[in-house]
Each structure stands twice: as C-alpha cells, then as structure tokens.
Amino acid sequence: MQSDVNWRAPARLCRRHGFVAYRATEIGRGDLAEMVALALRQPEDQQAELYVSCEAVRRKLPWPRIRELAARADFPTFI
C-alpha cells in the first residue's frame, strides 16, 4: 500500500550542475504536484539532473523518485 502524499505541499524544481548540489538552478516553485508535472516536461537529456526540494519532507527528491511519484495512481491530472 502506498503512503499518502501531500500533493499541495510547497516545493521547488531545481536542476543541479554537475555533482555539486549547492550549484543548482531553480526552474520553478509551486506545489509538489505542479513541480512533478513540470519535471516531466523538461528535456530528456536534463532529467537526470533534476530534483524536487519539498518542504514537507525536508529533503531533495531525485529524478528516480520524481518518476515514481508521477506513476502513482493518485497523481493529480492536469488539464
């Protein structure tokens, strides 16, 4: 069973430069669902450099975790 996700939690989508996490560019701010959706729309060659910084869990969610969140049955659908 999947745990509940607060899709409305404040989050930031960032792209790291190299392996240095503190050198990152913020791509967007919004709620977690919006940032996961925004990450999916980024160029494929940049996706591995993406992470979501989510205040609710106080950690950085790397690209593999972003993909897992997007695949959840309860991921909000944007029209």
Q: What is the pLDDT of residue 2?
A: 63
Q: What is the pLDDT of residue 15?
A: 94
DSSP state of 46: G
Contact 63, 50 (CB under 8 A): yes
Query: How many Cβ atoms sit within 10 Å of the Cβ of residue 10?
Result: 14
Contact 75, 33 (CB under 8 A): yes
Q: Where are the domains of the chain?
A: 10-71
Q: What is the pLDDT of residue 79?
A: 60
Rounded mean pLDDT for each run of 10 residues along the chain, 79 residues in total: 84 85 86 96 94 86 95 86
State which amino acid sits at residue 26.
Answer: E
